[in-house]
Amino acid sequence: MRQRRFLLITLIWTLSIGSIAAALRAAPCDHNTLLQWSYGATSDGGAPLDEPLISDRPDFTESPVTVGYGVVQLETGYTYTFDDEHGVRISNHSFPESLLRLGLFADWFELRLEWNYEIQRTNSGGVVRKDFGSDDLSLGMKLALTPQDCILPETGLIIETSVPSGANPFSADEVLPGINFCYDWDLTGSDTWSLGGSTALNGDVDDITTDNCVQFSQSLSLDHAWTKMIHSYVEWYVLSPVSADTNRPQYYFNRGFTVAFTNNIQWDVRAGLGLNRAADDFFAGTGLTVRYW
């Protein structure tokens, strides 16, 4: 049943992408972003190919920048997470955190496919349980909406959905759509300091009752460019369930850095802490992003 439902959803998604592609081919592509704040504003659209790549990792905040027409970008990583609550200790290994980004039709459009695998160990009162398997596949698209115009930010929109294809311990067993509005300000005019954020609503299920709910998330990330190839960031974000039965808001602090070995290869490291009881106690990870064009 799950496989048939997965194939049906994939078919519907493919047909939808085909309809969007037909509309885009008929539309003029005078600007690298889909919209502008004002007439004559400079459009950035896809990431410049003669500069170090712009990735959606390692921070929680997504970038409003698309990869650009004809570009393929693969982002991968590993994260270790630990939580100890009321004597129940949970450790989790997450990999390869793969996000495949394909620049199609125009600089302001990208197709996104995300897949991950988890190994989780739960120790409760001396009883150990191990779960492992893949997460639900996620399919989505990103639109680069506007360039920055004075105090008005550069913006982008991610529309995505999960499909019930994962292993039982990690699958929601149903389609969970979501939308994420991303924004970013260059604070100095030279990309030395930038402030980014994202505001999202995603379908979710309650951990205990498995009833449907909605998860609201909000993040703010401050980035500093030490050199053209080395950046660091500090970040705060919250995952807040709406109308959930038992899930509670989770607050996190996260920081990390990225090193671009070349314009098309980037390495990253991150670590973070949960700021309240409902959040995981600690997480740390590393990753690699490669751009092809």
Of the ranges 30-39, 51-60, 66-75, 279-288, which one carries the lowest mean pLDDT score? 30-39
Q: Quote the DSSP letter at residue 243.
A: S
Quote the pLDDT of residue 34.
77
Q: What is the pLDDT of residues 266-277, one digit of tens each?
A: 999 999 999 999
Q: What is the pLDDT of residues 59-75, one digit of tens each?
A: 999 999 999 999 999 99
Residue-level length of the chain: 293
CA 115 to chain centre: 12
Quote the pLDDT of residue 89.
95
Quote the pLDDT of residue 86.
84
- Indicate the pLDDT class of residue 3, thresholds 50, 70 and 90: very low
Distance (Å, rounded) from C-alpha 179 to C-alpha 194?
Answer: 23
Q: What is the pLDDT of residues 4-14, one digit of tens each?
A: 444 444 444 44
Domain limits for position 68: 2-292
- Indicate the pLDDT class of residue 40, thresholds 50, 70 and 90: low
- Indicate the pLDDT class of residue 18, thresholds 50, 70 and 90: very low
Q: What is the pLDDT of residues 100-135, one digit of tens each?
A: 999 999 999 999 999 999 999 999 988 999 999 999
CATH, residue 198: 2.40.160.40
* Whether the Cβ atoms of residue 198 and residue 180 lie closer than 8 Å to each other: yes
Quote the pLDDT of residue 41.
55
Quote the pLDDT of residue 179.
97
- Contact residues for 161 (Cβ-Cβ < 8 A; gap 6+): 9, 13, 138, 139, 140, 175, 176, 177, 178, 203
Q: What is the pLDDT of residues 236-245, one digit of tens each?
A: 999 999 988 8
Task: Give the tokens for residue 198.
Answer: 């994202």
Q: What is the pLDDT of residues 154-195, one digit of tens each?
A: 999 999 999 999 998 899 889 999 999 999 999 987 789 999
Quote the pLDDT of residue 125.
83
Number of structural domains found in the chain: 1
